[in-house]
Amino acid sequence: MRAVRVHEYHSEPRIDDIPEPTLQGPLDVIVKIGGAGVCRTDLHIVNGDWARAMNPGLPYVIGHENAGWVHEIGEGVTNVAVGDTVILHPQPSCGLCLPCRAGNDMHCANAFFPGLSDNDGGMAEYLRTTARACVKLDPETDPADVAALADAGITAYHAVRKAVPRLWPGTTAVVQGAGGLGHIGIQALAALCATRIVVVDRNPDALALAKEIGADETVISDGTHIDAVKDLTGGQGADVVLDFVAEQGAENDAWAMTAPDGFQYVIGYGGEFRAPTLDFVAGEKSVIGNIVGTYNDLVELMVLAQAGKVTLHTKQYTLDAALDALHDLDAGRVRGRAILVP
C-alpha cells in the first residue's frame, strides 16, 4: 500500500510502498482509510518537536485524524463489523486503568497514538487500530467529510465542553484563531450555549467564515485587537478566551483579553506563556490546558455533525499530493482542514 512516512526530521516525508498492516490482537481492527486529516501537529512531527515525547522509530507513517470502513476485525471485536463506516478516536485506550475507568481515556496509562507514537498512522490506504477507537457512523457518511473531527474536532469540542458551565447567557467567549480547530470551536459554542461569540483572526476570509458559522462579532488581529475586545466587553475582557493559536505572542494576547475571574483555555501550542504572578492573584484569572478529547466527546460531536450543527470546511488532496497539502497548510493556504483521500 502507499503511505506517507517520515524518514528523518527536518526533511520532507516520502510516499512509500509498504506492506498492509495486519491484526496483532483479538481486539484489533484494520480500517480502509477514506479520509485522513492533515494537521499542524504533522508539521510539528516533521520538525522533530514530538520526537522526545513519543520517540517513534523512523521511518513511520503519520496521520492521526482518520475515518473509513472496517476492513478486518480480530476475533474479540463485537462493536463493529466488516464494511461498517467508522471514525477513529486517535488514541486507542485500554479501558482498564484508572483514567479510563474515570472516563478520561485520553489520559490512558496504556494508550498508543497512531501517527504520533511508535505506531503507523492513517496517511495510508489502511490503518491498524482497536475496537475501543471505533465510532460507528451512518453508512451514508463520507469519511472524508468527517475525518478531521477525529482529532481537531474533539480537541476543540473538549475545550468548549469544559468551558460551557462558565458561559451562561450574558457572557462573552473569545475564539482566537478561526482556522482548522477554531472554526469547529465556533460551531460547538453556538450549538452548546447562548454566550456571545467574538472571533479574533488576522485573516479577513477566516473572519467571514466565522460570521457564517456562528460568530456574533469578529475582530481583525492587527495590533489593536486587544483594545477592540475590551471595547466590546465594557473594558473588562472576555469571560472565556479559547486560544487556538498560542504561539508568536498570541498566548499572551489571550491573557490580556481575559476578564478578571475569567478563564483562558490553551488549545494551540508552540509559544511560551508569561504573566506576572500578581495578575493571577489580583485578577483571579485561570489558565487551563487542553488535550485531545475523550471517546465520549467524539460520540457527542458526531451527533452534532450528523445533525448538521457542526460541519467541516475542507480542501481535499489525493494521497499522492500529501506534500502539497503539508506545504499549503504551512503557508496558510488552507481554510478549514486539509484532507487526504487515498
Which residues are tagged catalytic? 41, 44
C-beta separation of 24 from 69 below 8 A: no
- Of 181, 176, 183, the C-alpha closest to 201 is 176
In angstroms, what CA-CA distances link 55 with 66, 129, 303?
A: 22, 19, 35
The residue with cell 450549538 is: 191
- Of 245, 279, 244, the C-alpha closest to 262 is 279
Burial group, residue 21, by CB count within 10 angstroms (0-12, 13-18, 19+): buried
The three-state secondary structure class of 234 is: coil
At position 134, the amino acid (one-letter code) is: C
> What residues contact residue 49 under an 8 Å CB cut-off, 6+ apart?
none
Report helix angle 152-163 to 295-306, nearest 10: 100
**Rounded CA gap, 18 and 94, in Å?**
28
Sign of CA pseudo-dihedral 335, 65, 136, 124 = positive
Report helix angle 182-192 to 204-212, nearest 10: 20
The residue with cell 475569567 is: 262
How many CA atoms lie less than 13 Å away from 252 in the CB half-sphere? 9
